[in-house]
A and B are shown apart, each in its own frame.
Chain A
Amino acid sequence: MIQLENFDREFSFEQLVPEAVIKSVIPFLKKMGADGIAIYSPDFSLGFTDNFALPSHIDIIRNTLKTLSNNQAGKIEISVSDILYFPIVHEGEPVAYFVIRLKKNCRDHTDILMNAGFLLMKFFHHFMEMNQKMMMAADLHTIVVEDSFTELKEKNQKLEKSEKKYRDLAKSLEAEVEKKTKEIKYKQAQLLHQDKMASIGQLAAGVAHEINNPIGFINSNLETLKRYHEDLKSLILEYRKLIPFASGDKIPGKSEEIKNLIDNIRQIENMIEIDFISEDIVALLHESQDGIDRIRKIVTTLKDFAHPGKDFPEFADINQNIESTLNILHNEIKHKADVIKDYGKLPDLCCYPRQLNQVFMNILVNAVQAIETHGTISITTRHKDTNILILFSDTGSGIPKKNLRKIFDPFFTTKEVGKGTGLGLNLVYGIIKNHGGRTDVASVAGKGTQFVITLPLNSPLHKKGQNDGDC
């Protein structure tokens, strides 16, 4: 950095009037009759000289200058010549004394040199003022520029510092965002899992009912069969008593005994209603077998539905999938809606069947929940060009227009807190997208909602399935 001088400092004569300026006037003074030139400082020491060496003169002049009171120019007469002195005043005080010694025997030049001296006094006075003004302005300007520069530099440093801070912040933000994204993804996966678990839980209630019912009557049938067995056992015991007679050893004279035994048997047969029992046993066994079949069917569908295993696509009949989902939801739907099925003939689709089951279930559960008292759910499937179309229509409460755009957003729900995860339709959307298809929705508030699922037959899954799966 430049070492700056104070602009308001004191300026000396030497600073304000360069020697070159003085030297430039000397030849003219000499032409006018000057012999030597000297400049005294305010403390009367000798400064610049030109042909001015006589010590006696120097002291005479100094003594004269010391006694000056009002900064007046004057003349000292010495033996063969005159010495003229001119105080140079600046800022109200003499800053130098300009001294001219005349050539010997040139006293007739005194007047003209006196006037030249006055002229120089004025000239130096104004020259110094101008020069000081310029120097002060220049110095002040430099100070101001330097000051502004320093200020700018400081500002710049501050800016750099804050910029670095923001850069660091941005970096850490990025990391933070990445971390949060991971967390959110994890949470979302967890929620999706929870949603699945919740629907399975919902199912479990329905399924339990479905299974409990046959178990109930199978149990009661078994009780009845046990009783029938007791009755038949007592009857058989009576029959066995007849066996010895049948062998012929004891027949003579025993007809009375036989007759009694047979009466007894007839009596028991009447008592236990043997004809009814033999018919009822068949009926009970049939009924129980039916019940067991029903249970087996439910368990099989449930297994199909919730099977967590296979991760590879396989060929599936969509109509069957819908049917199996309806089976599971049978208990949920039967009291609230009539289901009208219109299945078209469909080619097998390469897909993740269990994922699609989840889709159908989520849509159907929504449909059921949208129906307040009793309504209709229509399911239509069609094969059109290279797509399979699946339409689910319900006569439920419908979706208000303002919500329609948002229903596929994750966590969007109009259900009470804790009732819906807001992931059901998001899952639908995600799964269908994953199958290369699309989900469209149309709804009129108060009238009902229609979901249209379009699944392409040659989806990317098809290729994947050919490599890894069963397709």
Chain B
Amino acid sequence: MVEFRKQEKKIIVKIVYYGPAMSGKTTNLMFLHDIMNPGGRGELMSFETKGDRTLFFDLLPFIIKKKDFSIKIKLFTVPGQVAHDATRKAVLSRADGIVFIADSQNSQTMNNFESFTNLEKNSYRVGLDFETMPLVVQFNKQDLSDIVGRDEVLEKWGQTRLPITFSSAIYGDGVKETFLTVLKRTYTHLDKLLGLKANHSICEEDFIPELLE
């Protein structure tokens, strides 16, 4: 849940990268870390186990400083393993925006579906309104062969009316696009909720950090 610290003139926004195990959530954050201006961003805090699997979560915080206020955005990833559902639920709590990272490989179709169902269920459990929640779906690992075709993805996931992006996070392709999409959606949502523009003169561009090309 967005935190509005009026005295400090600071908004704290939480965006959660959700998805099945090994779909590339941490890779997305790593790439974002690399292309962000070091001035405003914190370190990428990772809790990894041996198999490069996220045990608890990853956290990448960054600050966008404007003249009259600052916007702190915290990017989290959840652990994808089915067994870590309680952790996933806790990390998802209070999210203001969600990126769902799907694995494009044919073999992962079922896992994507299960994880998305799990997201829907956990959203409900932690009291998030899944219907209005800013949510972007990213189909990652586009660089691999034996993946579900884009047309098929769009046909199947188009019914959700969610914005869908395609990426190859390991090479950075599409990561920024996904990120910008979720930021814009989150801004629109929070603006509706808090009147960011009307009451605080915060506009959409203010939500977007300086990123390298």
Contacts and interface: CB of A to CB of B under 8 A. Distances in A.
A91 B94 contact: no
Contacts of B14: 8
A137 B47 contact: yes
Contacts of A129: 43, 45
Nearest to A137: B56
Given A70-B39, A147-B90, A140 B57 contact: yes
15 contacts: A8-B93, A10-B12, A91-B43, A91-B61, A91-B63, A92-B42, A92-B61, A93-B65, A93-B70, A132-B45, A133-B47, A137-B47, A141-B56, A147-B89, A148-B86
Given A43-B8, A92-B39, A92-B42, A8 B76 contact: yes
A147 B86 contact: yes
Nearest to A143: B90
B158 interface: no
Interface of B: 3, 7-8, 12, 14, 39-43, 45, 47, 56-57, 59, 61-63, 65, 70, 72, 74, 76, 86-87, 89-91, 93-94
> Of B42, B47, B74, which is in contact with the most chain A CB atoms at under 10 Å from its CB?
B42
Interface in A52-77: 70-71
Interface in A119-171: 129, 132-133, 136-137, 140-141, 143-144, 147-148, 151
A247 interface: no
A143 B7 CA distance: 29
Contacts, number: 63
A149 to B, nearest CB: 10
Given A92-B61, A92-B63, A7 B90 contact: yes
Contacts of B89: 147
Contact of A144 (B40, B63, B87): B87
A43 B70 CA distance: 13
Contacts of A143: 86, 90
A42 interface: yes
A151 B89 CA distance: 13
Question: Chain B interface mostly helix, strand, loop or mixed?
Answer: strand
A454 B22 CA distance: 82
Contacts of A151: 86
Nearest to A6: B94
Nearest to B42: A91
A288 to B, nearest CB: 101
B18 to A, nearest CB: 15
B26 to A, nearest CB: 15
A42 B74 CA distance: 19
A144 B86 contact: yes
Contacts of A91: 42-43, 61-63, 72
A90 interface: yes
B143 to A, nearest CB: 31
B1 to A, nearest CB: 9
A141 B57 CA distance: 11
A87 B167 CA distance: 38
A161 to B, nearest CB: 22
> Of B40, B45, B94, which is in contact with the most chain A CB atoms at under 10 Å from its CB?
B45
